[in-house]
Amino acid sequence: MPKSTPDFFFERQCCGPVCGVDEAGRGPLAGPVVAAAVILAPEKTPEGLNDSKILSKIRRELLLNEIIKNADIGIGIAEPEEIDRANILGASLIAMRRAVLALPCLPDKALIDGNKLPDLPCEAEFIIKGDSRSLSIAAASIVAKVTRDKLMEDADIRYPGYYFAQHKGYATELHRNQIDKLGPCPIHRRSFAPIKLLYS
């Protein structure tokens, strides 16, 4: 079965401004979860928008530049402490709400990737696999992914020895080995195994 290509089908169901919302960073052992909300102008939509996970790093960064020039963007971040308090789903929804509220104007509707809705002051609809079905969500997935990657590259400088720039906080063998060697640092998620085992 061929992979779907995102389009404006869902956006066209609403007359007013529509934003797509997606997050990056639910699975890592360290770092924040980052959400983005994007309102695209149909006549200025960058070519090649798709789920950020299937795009190369270079392609994502090129598309981000085009999105910044041609769309309204909001960013929302939930830090590791919030993830530990609210769990990763709750923190992801908090970040999504912050992203929508950070837009220059409140949209009439928000299209949310996944199967849960954040608490928003506008109409919202969740779309499973939305980053491969909605252009607005695909754009948000790119913004969220590139933003979070850059935050983890900054963390690599602040916390040398964990190699955050390489694995972005995911549970790679290298990352797990460095946790065993150095112990967790301030941006590790205490509620995530194997970090949690160190505090039990």
pLDDT of amino acid 193: 86
Q: Which helix (H) or strand (E) holds 151?
A: helix 135-158
Q: Please answer whether residues 163 and 174 qualify as being in contact, where contact means their C-beta atoms are separated by less than 8 angstroms.
A: yes
Q: Cβ distance 164 to 182 under 8 Å?
A: no
Please choose, from the candidates 16, 46, 27, the residue with its C-alpha nearest in 3D space to the C-alpha of residue 140: 46
**Is 42 or 162 the better-scoring residue by pLDDT?**
162
* Per-residue pLDDT at 197: 83
| Three-state DSSP class for residue 34 | strand
Where residue 200 falls among pLDDT bands split at 50, 70, 90?
low
Q: What is the pTM of this model?
A: 0.96
pLDDT tens, residue by residue, 51-73: 999 999 999 999 999 999 999 99
Read off the pLDDT band of 3 (50, 70, 90).
low
| Exposure class string for 40-60: b at 16+ Cβ within 10 A, else e | beeeebbeebbbbeebeeeeb
136: left (phi over 0), alpha (psi -120 to 50) or beta: alpha
Confidence band of 2 (pLDDT split at 50, 70, 90): very low
Which domains, and CATH codes, for the chain? 11-199 (3.30.420.10)
**pLDDT tens for each residue of 163-188:** 999 999 999 999 999 999 999 999 99
Rounded to the nearest 5 degrees, what angle is found at the Cα of 91, between the Cα atoms of 37 and 25?
A: 70
